C-alpha cells in the first residue's frame, strides 16, 4: 500500500469502459499513456503523450514540434509551454481525444488516481497545491559511472532511492522498476533539469520539491543519521 494506493499495472488501472475510444492508448508497467494536447488561440494545438501513473503522477512528453525536447512535464508546465492564454486551469485546458473529439481531462476518468493521491496527502510533505512532492533524484552507478533517475513520489520509491544511495556498490541493474543496464545511455543534460517540481519545471531546488524529512522519505528501521534524527524529532 502506497499513500493509500496499491501499485497497479497499467492493464488494471482503468476499466475498458473508462478508456473506450481514447486515442493513443498504451499500457505500461504501472501507467497508461494516451495522446493529449492543449490549445492556444495564438499558436494552435500543442500535442503530447500523457502518462498516468497508478500513484497519481501525471507526466507529459511534448510533441509540439519535431525538435521539441520537453518531456516529463507536469500538466501545468505543459499548459504553460503550449502558450495557452488562460493558464493555471490545466484540468480544463489539457485535453485528450475521445471518439475523435477533444475532451478536457476533468471530464474523463484519467484524474482519479491524481485526485485520490491528493486526498491522501494529509500529514506528508506537500507542495503549494497540496500534493505530495519530492523531486526526482539521481544515483551514480558504481560500474558505468552513469547517473540514473529515481522518482520519489511514494514511500516505496523513496525507500528504493534511500537504499541505493546508501549502497556504495549500487549498479544500474539494481533498479527494480526500470529495465536499465550499463549499456543504456545516460539521460541528456537537457532532460535531467526536469525533476518534477510543481512550482517550476526546471527548478534547482525549493521548498516545494525539497523535503528534509517526512513520513514518506524517512524510515524508523534505518540506522542512518538522517532517519535517526527524523525519528527523534517526530517523537519530541
Q: Are residue 101 and residue 146 in the same domain, yes or no?
A: no
Q: Does residue 204 lie in a domain region?
A: yes
The owner of cell 516505496 is: 156
Q: Does residue 100 lie in a domain region?
A: yes
Q: Are residue 47 and residue 97 in the same domain, yes or no?
A: yes
Q: Does residue 130 lie in a domain region?
A: no
Could you tell me the residue range of the domain that residue 27 belongs to? 16-106
pLDDT digits (tens, 9 = 90+) for 2-48: 433 445 656 688 999 999 999 999 998 889 999 999 999 888 999 99
Q: Are residue 97 and residue 181 in the same domain, yes or no?
A: no
Q: Are residue 89 and residue 47 in the same domain, yes or no?
A: yes
Q: Does residue 211 lie in a domain region?
A: yes
Stretch 122-126: mean pLDDT, rounded? 45
Beta-carbon neighbour count of residue 211 at 10 Å?
Answer: 19
pLDDT digits (tens, 9 = 90+) for 66-98: 888 888 888 888 888 888 866 678 899 999 999
Q: Of 8-22, 136-150, 171-185, where does mean pLDDT reach its minimum?
A: 8-22
List the CATH number of the domain containing 24.
3.10.390
Q: Does residue 72 lie in a domain region?
A: yes
Q: Does residue 25 lie in a domain region?
A: yes
Cβ-contact 127, 133 below 8 angstroms: yes
Q: Which of 58, 61, 48, 53 minimizes the C-alpha distance to 27?
A: 53
Which of 84, 106, 128 is the last residue in one of the domains? 106
What mean pLDDT is reported for the chain? 81
Pairing mode, if any, of strands 94-98 and 31-40? antiparallel
Stretch 118-123: mean pLDDT, rounded? 51
Q: How many domains does the chain have?
A: 2
Q: Which of 73, 107, 72 minimizes the C-alpha distance to 91?
A: 107
Q: Are residue 33 and residue 73 in the same domain, yes or no?
A: yes
Stretch 167-191: mean pLDDT, rounded? 88
Q: Are residue 92 and residue 27 in the same domain, yes or no?
A: yes
Greatest Cα pair distance, the chain, in angstroms, is: 57
Q: Does residue 2 lie in a domain region?
A: no
Q: Are residue 83 and residue 144 in the same domain, yes or no?
A: no
Residue 216 has pLDDT above 60, yes or no: yes
Q: Where are the beta strands (DSSP E) in 63-132?
A: 94-98, 101-104
Q: Does residue 122 lie in a domain region?
A: no
Which of 66, 87, 106 is the last residue in one of the domains? 106
Q: Are residue 77 and residue 157 in the same domain, yes or no?
A: no
Cβ-contact 136, 198 below 8 angstroms: no
Q: Are residue 33 and residue 79 in the same domain, yes or no?
A: yes
The larger pLDDT score, comparing residue 54 to residue 143, is at 143
Amino acid at each position: 500500500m502506497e499513500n493509500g494506493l496499491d501499485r497497479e499495472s497499467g492493464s488494471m488501472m482503468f476499466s475498458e469502459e473508462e478508456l473506450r475510444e481514447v486515442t493513443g492508448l498504451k499500457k505500461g508497467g504501472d501507467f497508461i499513456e494516451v495522446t493529449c494536447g492543449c490549445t492556444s488561440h495564438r499558436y494552435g494545438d500543442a500535442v503530447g503523450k500523457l502518462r498516468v501513473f497508478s500513484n497519481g503522477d501525471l507526466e507529459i512528453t511534448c510533441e509540439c514540434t519535431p525538435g521539441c525536447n520537453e518531456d516529463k512535464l507536469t500538466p501545468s508546465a505543459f499548459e504553460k509551454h503550449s502558450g495557452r492564454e488562460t493558464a493555471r486551469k490545466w484540468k480544463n485546458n489539457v485535453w485528450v481525444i475521445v471518439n475523435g473529439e477533444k475532451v478536457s481531462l476533468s471530464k474523463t476518468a484519467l484524474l482519479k488516481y491524481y485526485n485520490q493521491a491528493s486526498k491522501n496527502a494529509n500529514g506528508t510533505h506537500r507542495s503549494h497545491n497540496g500534493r505530495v512532492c519530492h523531486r526526482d533524484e539521481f544515483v551514480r552507478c558504481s560500474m558505468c559511472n552513469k547517473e540514473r533517475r529515481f522518482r520519489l513520489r511514494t514511500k516505496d520509491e523513496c525507500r528504493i532511492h534511500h537504499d541505493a544511495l546508501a549502497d556504495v556498490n549500487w549498479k544500474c541493474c539494481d533498479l527494480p522498476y526500470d529495465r536499465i543496464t550499463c549499456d543504456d545511455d545516460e539521460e541528456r543534460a537537457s532532460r535531467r533539469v526536469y525533476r518534477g517540481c510543481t512550482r517550476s519545471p526546471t527548478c534547482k531546488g525549493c521548498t516545494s520539491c525539497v523535503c528534509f524529512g517526512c513520513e514518506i522519505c524517512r524510515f524508523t528501521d534505518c540506522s542512518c543519521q538522517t532517519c535517526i534524527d527524523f525519528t527523534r524529532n517526530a517523537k519530541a
